[in-house]
């Protein structure tokens, strides 16, 4: 699975690299707060909150072309606490987020041909 679908992200941003950069930066600001909510939901075993926050990540990540992160969030939204990634849910999401940020940063720095 692709970590970052640059073409999809550029399509969402109408081909505007600067706008895409702003959207990615906005997500970077937004993501830690959502992860705090997810960790709170996990601690309280609050399936409704977990699913709601996973849904939020799923949509935002999909719009930014963060395909792996969106896919993982969709699995959490559907399966809730039953999802098994082989490691904690929050670590799985953070790892996918970090991979997205690294790939997005690399792609944004590449020269447009």
* Residue range(s) defining the domain that contains residue 76: 6-109
Q: What is the mean pLDDT of residues 51-63?
A: 96
CATH number at residue 66: 1.20.120.160
In a domain, 11, yes or no: yes
Give yes or no for a contact between 40 and 25, defined as CB atoms under 8 angstroms apart. Answer: no
49, 57 Cβ separation under 8 angstroms: no
Residue 61 lies in a domain: yes
pLDDT, one tens digit per residue, over 14-26 is 999 999 999 999 9
Number of domains in the chain: 1
- Angle, helices 47-63 vs 67-79, to 10°: value is 160
- Per-residue pLDDT, averaged over 29-54, amounts to 94
Q: Is 21 helix (H, G, I), strand (E, B) or coil?
A: helix
Residue 1 lies in a domain: no
76-91 confidence digits (pLDDT tens): 999 888 888 778 899 9
Residue 47 lies in a domain: yes
pTM of the model: 0.90
CA–CA separation, 6 and 59 (whole Å):
16
In this structure, the number of other CB atoms found within 10 A of the CB of residue 104 comes to 23
Percentage of residues in the chain having pLDDT higher than 90: 80
- From 21, 18, 1, select the one nearest 99 (Cα to Cα): 1
């Amino acid at each position: 699975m692709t970590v970052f679908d640059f073409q999809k992200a550029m399509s969402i941003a109408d081909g505007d690299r600067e706008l895409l950069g702003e959207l990615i930066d906005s997500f970077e600001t937004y993501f830690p707060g959502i992860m705090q909510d997810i960790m709170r939901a996990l601690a309280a075993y609050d399936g409704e909150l977990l699913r709601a926050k996973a849904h939020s990540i799923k949509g935002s990540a999909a719009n930014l072309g963060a395909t792996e992160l969106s896919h993982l969030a969709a699995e959490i939204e559907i399966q809730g606490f039953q999802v098994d990634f082989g490691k904690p849910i929050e670590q799985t999401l953070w790892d996918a987020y970090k991979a997205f940020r690294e790939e997005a940063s690399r792609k944004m720095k590449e020269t447009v041909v």
